[in-house]
Structure 1
Amino acid sequence: MLHSPESTHSRRQFLLCSSAFSLAGLFPLRLSAQRAGSEEPQKDDPQLEIIPKDTLLKFNPDGSPRPFAGNTVICHLPQQSRFHDAVAALGDALRSSSFGTKLAVLPSDSYHATILGGPNDQDRRRYGWPSDIPINTPIAECNRIIGERIARFRMHTELPLRFRLDKEKTLAPQRPCGLQLVPADANEKLKLRTLRDRMATEVFRYRAPGHDTFGFHISLAYQMRGFTAGERQHYQDLLAQNLTMIDAATSIIELGVPEFSTFVDMYRFEVQTLLCT
């Protein structure tokens, strides 16, 4: 069958147009795939993979506690409360997670908020030590001296101590796992700063590094090894889910009389006396 020049020209135009439409449909997909492949995945701060010296002093690589003795002023979380139950549930979730073997998860009966950290027997110069107690004094003797000063100290502080959960700071990329707290309002902030300053001067007689920038928190676990990208995402998802339940338990966290406590490791804090109001 013979084709006229006009019909042959029309057929070629039709085929070229059809091919152009087909290729045009593919180009956006290919370009999108190239853009997606060229985008760098968001990476964690490399510092998050470095295990701090503080953690290495407190725990063995397998997460078991090392000897780390000292004294401190803390408020244990009220045991019979919805808040404690919700925080303990987060601790259990961390322990049973896919990355649980990379954590040193603390027992729930040790959960507390530190009001003012005291001296300990590890790296005394770095952590700080009372200016009027010889730096080579056994920690048991230091505990006794500080305990006697605490017995004479009067807080003159209205109770309870009131905090709020800082969800934004808690969810920010950081090493697992602590709940970040802030004083409930300006009055509580002034009250806590005054109490901490007085104890540092009158009882402990030194100011630890970072005294003025101390962030209140509740420690649940220490990270012993770095996370993979998948583990990091799993951790963030688990934390976000549990924070909803913790925040629902109470909007204001009320803590009672601060406790002068001693410890031989991070698993248990023995209350020696309550501060006098």
Structure 2
Amino acid sequence: MSHPKFHRDGRAKPFAGNTVIAHLPPDGWLARSLAEVRAEAARASFAGKLALLPVASYHMTVFGGADDQHRTPGLWPKGVPLDAPMPVCDEVVGERLKGVTCAPPYRLRVDLAKPIQPFRFELTLVDADEERRLRDLRDRLSAATGVRKPGHDSYGFHTQVGYLLEPFTADEQADFEAAFEAWRERLAGQVLELGAPDYCAFDDMLAFRPRLRLPVG
């Protein structure tokens, strides 16, 4: 089965949509560290099985909005015709989000406990209060947009470095797991602080165009 977002040679497929994300600060420790991880992955035995994302695109998804390929109730904004052009959907969602406030910073760490999922780093909030605040923001974004996807309450925060294009061989899997554990240990311990999330539109997984920064309040 082909990957929905990438060709087998790593080129991005069209995959238009909108989302609310917190970009990793480009001069921050995690973005710099992930750039090093990306460079190491590009030289690894398993590199040919991965589509590595541009460092400038690194972010944490706060709330996934709508996309052009999943036009069903719950995945598509309530009240927007299922056949509406994507730019119309983007505009409607942007208008609905203008009154949704946020309360940054949001503080997270790389999660060492969750299973490995190529090629992303799972994140966990530093304490229960941070978890409550970010989950509350997700609930309010869902209520405002009329989008509520399966797994809304159990969604796992993460930052994506690349996508697996096809299964690893046994040797590649072993090499990846060993490398990933070393990378994860390298990133553990430090706290990541994220600012106010941006509502963004995108044409594929390589770039996310900010349209609105959620107001702080």
Amino acid paired to 1:164: R
Cα displacement string for residues 134-177 of structure 1 (whole angstroms, at most 9, x for unaligned residues): 010000110011112222x131x4310111211121xx3x4411
**Greater CA drift, 237-246 or 255-264:** 237-246
SS at match of 1:191: helix
RMSD: 1.6
2:37 matched residue in structure 1: 90
Q: Point out which structure has higher relative CO (alpha carbons under 8 A, 6+ apart).
A: 2
Identity in percent:
36
Cα displacement string for residues 187-244 of structure 1 (whole angstroms, at most 9, x for unaligned residues): 0111011111011002x11211111110000011111111112111111111122223
Q: Distance in 1 between matches of 2:177 and 2:100?
A: 42
Q: In the alignment, does 2:154 pair up with 1:154?
A: no
Amino acid paired to 2:110: L
Amino acid paired to 1:260: Y
Q: In the alignment, does 2:199 pair up with 1:260?
A: yes
Q: Distance in 2 between matches of 1:63 and 1:126?
A: 31
Contact 1:74–1:113, Cα closer than 8 Å, also in 2: yes
Cα displacement string for residues 51-103 of structure 1 (whole angstroms, at most 9, x for unaligned residues): 6x7xx221112221100001000001000122211111112222221111111
Taking the TM superposition and a 5 Å limit, the aligned residue runs for 1:44-193 are: 56-125=3-72, 128-151=75-98, 153-155=99-101, 157-169=102-114, 172=115, 174-193=116-135
Give the paired residue count: 216
Q: Which runs of 4+ in 1 moved over 6 A?
A: none
User: TM-score when scaled to structure 1?
Assistant: 0.74
Q: Distance in 1 between matches of 2:74 and 2:118?
A: 22
Question: Any stretches of 5+ residues in structure 2 without a counterpart?
Answer: none
Contact 1:175–1:223, Cα closer than 8 Å, also in 2: no
Question: Any stretches of 5+ residues in structure 1 without a counterpart?
Answer: 1-50
Higher strand share: 2
Contact 2:200–2:210, Cα closer than 8 Å, also in 1: yes
Q: Distance in 2 between matches of 1:127 and 1:64?
A: 29
Amino acid paired to 2:124: V
Q: Distance in 2 between matches of 1:270 and 1:89?
A: 24
Q: Distance in 1 between matches of 2:16 and 2:29?
A: 31
Q: In the alignment, does 2:117 pair up with 1:208?
A: no
2:160 matched residue in structure 1: 219
1:275 matched residue in structure 2: 214
Q: Distance in 2 between matches of 1:110 and 1:126?
A: 29
Q: Distance in 2 between matches of 1:59 and 1:108?
A: 17
Q: In the alignment, does 2:169 pair up with 1:228?
A: yes
Higher helix share: 1
Highest CA radius of gyration, 1 or 2? Answer: 1
Q: Distance in 2 between matches of 1:247 and 1:184?
A: 12
- Following superposition, the deviation at residue 261 of structure 1 comes to 0.6
